[in-house]
């Protein structure tokens, strides 16, 4: 596995980024569907986070159980990715 990733930190970050990208794309599609009322889109978005997390439970569990192992500077990058992704989904 270290043929593809230089460290465990790189692997953890990639797992989290993959899940985040998937969920962000799905949430953006829901948010962009202006034909649906806001209340319905909010409900669909919340439900989709749960469903997509369950569908990718292995990745989610690795992320949840391992994020605390990342050094502070790497954790800051991950958190920045989350914030940027959330801002992009809201636009």
- Interhelix angle 38-55/57-66, rounded to 10 degrees, is 80
Cα 17 to the center of its chain, rounded Å:
6
Residue 63 confidence (pLDDT): 85
Tokens 């953890």 locate to 12
Residue 86 confidence (pLDDT): 60
Cβ-based neighbours of 63, under 8 Å, separated by 6 or more: 12, 15, 16, 19
> What is the share, in percent, of the chain residues with pLDDT greater than 70?
86
Residues 3-31 have pLDDT tens digits of 788 888 888 888 888 898 899 999 999 99
């Amino acid at each position: 596995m270290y043929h593809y990733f230089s460290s465990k930190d790189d692997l953890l970050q990639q797992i989290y980024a993959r899940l985040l990208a998937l969920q962000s794309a799905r949430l953006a599609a829901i948010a962009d569907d202006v034909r649906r009322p806001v209340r319905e889109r909010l409900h669909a978005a919340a439900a989709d986070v749960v469903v997509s997390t369950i569908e990718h439970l292995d990745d989610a569990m690795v992320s949840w159980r391992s994020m605390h192992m990342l050094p502070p500077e790497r954790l800051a990058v991950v958190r920045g990715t989350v914030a940027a992704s959330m801002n992009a989904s809201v636009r």
